[in-house]
Amino acid sequence: MLNLKSSQVALTSLPPLALYIHFPWCEKKCPYCDFNSHQIREGVGKNGFDEKRYINALIADLETELPNIWGRQVHTIFIGGGTPSLISPAGMDDLLSAIRARLNLDPAAEITMEANPGSIEAEKFAAYAKCGINRVSIGVQSFQDEQLKALGRIHTSTEAKRAIEIALQHFPAVNLDLMYGLPNQTLAAAKNDIDTALSFQTPHLSLYNLTLEPNTYFANFPPKLPSEDEIDLMFEQNLALLTKAGYQRYEVSAYAKKDQECKHNLNYWRFGDYIGIGAGAHGKISLPNKITRQVRERHPETYMSAIENQGHALIESKEVHAQDLPFEFMLNALRLTSGVETSSFSERTGLPLSVLSNALNEACQKGLLDENPKYLKPTALGLRYLNDLQALFLS
């Protein structure tokens, strides 16, 4: 048996590279949200935050990473939050122009921005498209006003529908984020949400089961949620409706029409690299002899001050040890319904496949993993009990 504690990573090639940019402000903090987001304050710039200062910090943050990725091409950019659609079009243009000046950006790069329906305007979206955004992800969550209110969302169903119509006029790729298993939600109400979403024929849908995450308002004051059996029925109903409408479930929570998968997220799940800039952003960078993970300062003010005073905002940059790589790889890869090619394990971790032998055999015996040796692919049962399947690779 290999001694992974003393093994050294040896990559024969580096994986694809992406850029994640975190925008940490929202107009209102949702009670279920455990992301690094902060409610904007009155009197701090015209939008409640100092846009120019934050963008300058992002650019300076990116520059600190250039020596680690020099010469490598960036294939996708994802601007997440928070609510990035609070950024002015001029600010977004400044940011993307600075990125292009510093990175070898693929001319056909997928550039995604998350948006809140309440902050969408036709003129604003036209300007975003002009400065290079070509994919937008809209946080709809539900088309029922009662549910939106229960979720603490600031938009209405009417605003959500209008936002989708505007987005479809300006962007070639549009994703809708939806939730199910909402407070007091019925099977019929869940179907109504899916039917409404399908009526817009967007190329991509993300569908999440509402969970009560630690350190959120809902965790401390839990609403009444449907039972596990009811939630299972909602999922099966949703899957049938989406499949009938021509969407393929390609990841646990992601559905796309043919060739419309989110390239940025696919890079995560295939254990690719990504630069992470912005407050609380995480990054993963591979070098020929090691893989490192990074974490930035979490609070926006602390993040900007660190950049300005120290020249960087890293609070952690550590090498991923060889014994941790098998689990980290499989944690991501097994989220994909089609799995990944078996050869990609060694390509992305620098380790021989033999380190997975025992876990692979056990997963196959339990019916959680497909027995095709060319792919590391979960079965339908494996997807259903994904946590159990992933846990087999912890050791």
* C-beta separation of 78 from 175 below 8 A: no
Main-chain dihedrals φ then ψ at residue 144, nearest 5 degrees: -105, 120
| CATH code, 139 | 3.20.20.70
In a domain, 10, yes or no: no
The predicted pLDDT at position 1 comes to: 41
Q: Look at residues 267, 286, 308 and tell me which one is the last residue of a structural domain.
A: 267
The predicted pLDDT at position 120 comes to: 83
In a domain, 209, yes or no: yes
Same domain, 217 and 357: no
In a domain, 175, yes or no: yes
Tally DSSP H helices, then E strands, for the chain: 15, 16
CA 179, distance to chain mean position in Å, is 15
* Verdict on whether the full-model pTM lies above 0.85: yes
Same domain, 91 and 237: yes
The predicted pLDDT at position 343 comes to: 96
Same domain, 371 and 224: no
Same domain, 253 and 331: no
> Which residue has tokens 């120290």?
310
Instruction: Return the H-helix or E-strand segment holding 352.
Output: none
- The DSSP output letter for 193 is H
In a domain, 313, yes or no: no
* C-beta separation of 247 from 206 below 8 A: no
Q: Is 172 left (phi over 0), alpha (psi -120 to 50) or beta?
A: alpha
In a domain, 148, yes or no: yes
The SS3 assignment for 270 reads coil
* C-beta separation of 45 from 8 below 8 A: no
3-state secondary structure 293-327: EEEECCCHHHHHHHHHHHCCCEEEEEECCHHHHHH
> Which residue has tokens 């015209």?
46
Q: What is the identity of the amino acid at 365? A: Q
Same domain, 207 and 326: no
Beta strands in 184-328 (DSSP E): 204-209, 248-251, 254-256, 273-278, 282-287, 290-296, 314-319
The predicted pLDDT at position 4 comes to: 62
Q: Using CB atoms within 10 A of its CB, is residue 41 exposed (0-12), middle (13-18) or buried (19+)?
A: exposed
| CATH code, 356 | 1.10.10.920
Same domain, 99 and 207: yes
Q: Are strands 254-256 and 248-251 parallel, antiparallel or unpaired?
A: antiparallel
Work out how many domains the chain is built from and give that number: 2
Same domain, 40 and 142: yes
Same domain, 379 and 243: no
The predicted pLDDT at position 3 comes to: 53
Q: Which residues pair with 255 in a beta bridge?
A: 205, 249
Q: Which long-range contacts (CB under 8 A, 24 or more apart) does 221-224 make?
A: 221/31, 223/150, 223/183, 223/184, 224/183, 224/184
Same domain, 239 and 370: no
Q: Using CB atoms within 10 A of its CB, is residue 365 exposed (0-12), middle (13-18) or buried (19+)?
A: exposed
The predicted pLDDT at position 242 comes to: 98
Same domain, 223 and 140: yes
Same domain, 41 and 166: yes
Angle, alpha carbons 159-164-166 (nearest 5°): 95
Whole-angstrom distance, CA of residue 105 vs CA of residue 94: 16
Whole-angstrom distance, CA of residue 86 vs CA of residue 118: 10
Distances from the Cα of 164 to the Cα of 77, 86, 169, 332, 369, angstroms: 21, 17, 9, 30, 38
> Which residue has tokens 């596990």?
228
- The DSSP output letter for 239 is H
Q: Look at residues 248, 267, 286 and tell me which one is the last residue of a structural domain.
A: 267
* C-beta separation of 282 from 36 below 8 A: no
Token pair listed for 30: 């949702």
**Domain around 176:** 17-267
Angle, alpha carbons 292-293-299 (nearest 5°): 150
Same domain, 224 and 85: yes
Q: What is the mean pLDDT of each run of 10 residues along the chain (395 residues)?
A: 61 96 94 90 66 98 96 97 95 98 98 92 94 97 96 94 96 97 96 98 97 92 95 96 98 97 98 98 96 97 97 96 95 97 96 95 97 96 96 90
Whole-angstrom distance, CA of residue 17 vs CA of residue 268: 10
